[in-house]
Amino acid sequence: MRCPYCSYAKTNVIDSRDVGELEITRRRRECRKCKKRFTTYERVEIIDLVVIKKDGRREKFGRSKLLAGVQKACEKRPISQEKIENLVEEIERELRNMETLEVESSKIGELVMKKLKRLDKVAYIRFASVYRSFADIESFENELRTMKRKLKRR
């Protein structure tokens, strides 16, 4: 493992622990040359999921793309990176537990919205506004009204 700071090839593993149910190992490392510390994640390579886009194209599932979308929705919200990582991990786990290796992008979007709605309402609205491509203010207001009605029922 090369140091991301000085590119030296030798590092020491200071701490190692398993994270979540996707068999991820988190390693805390220290560069032998510059002594700076950094974290790496090791994942078991699993058969690739294929995402079926709205226009019918197929592309390889990208966890980083999913993570970036969720992070963007959660930007400037009081949500820790750990909670975001856990949410993405839950979604990925659900996708991999499905009976098929091909999943429609709409299924992924619905899963993200379902999880974000429980985590943070503002992040949910941000994601939904992009995902559902609200055409105008009325569609945005309709979504807010629906949320308010559901909250009042509780």
- The tens digit of pLDDT for each residue in 90-143 reads 999 999 888 899 999 999 999 999 999 999 999 998 898 888 777 677 877 888
Same domain, 60 and 118: yes
Same domain, 93 and 35: no
Same domain, 96 and 123: yes
What is the span of the domain harbouring residue 107?
47-153
Same domain, 143 and 79: yes
Helix, strand, or coil (residue 117):
helix
C-alpha–C-alpha distance, residues 116 and 77, integer Å: 12
Same domain, 57 and 32: no
Domains in the chain, number: 2
First-residue to last-residue Cα distance in the chain: 51
Same domain, 27 and 68: no
Same domain, 93 and 51: yes
Q: What is the pTM of this model?
A: 0.65
DSSP character at residue 133: T
Same domain, 9 and 51: no
Same domain, 133 and 62: yes
Given a contact cutoff of 8 angstroms between Cβ atoms, the answer to whether 39 and 27 are in contact is: yes
Q: In this predicted model, what pLDDT tens digit does every residue of 18-62 receive, in sequence order? A: 877 657 899 999 999 999 999 998 877 667 899 999 899 999 999
* HSE-up (13 A, CA, CB side) for residue 51: 17
For residue 134, the model assigns a pLDDT of 72
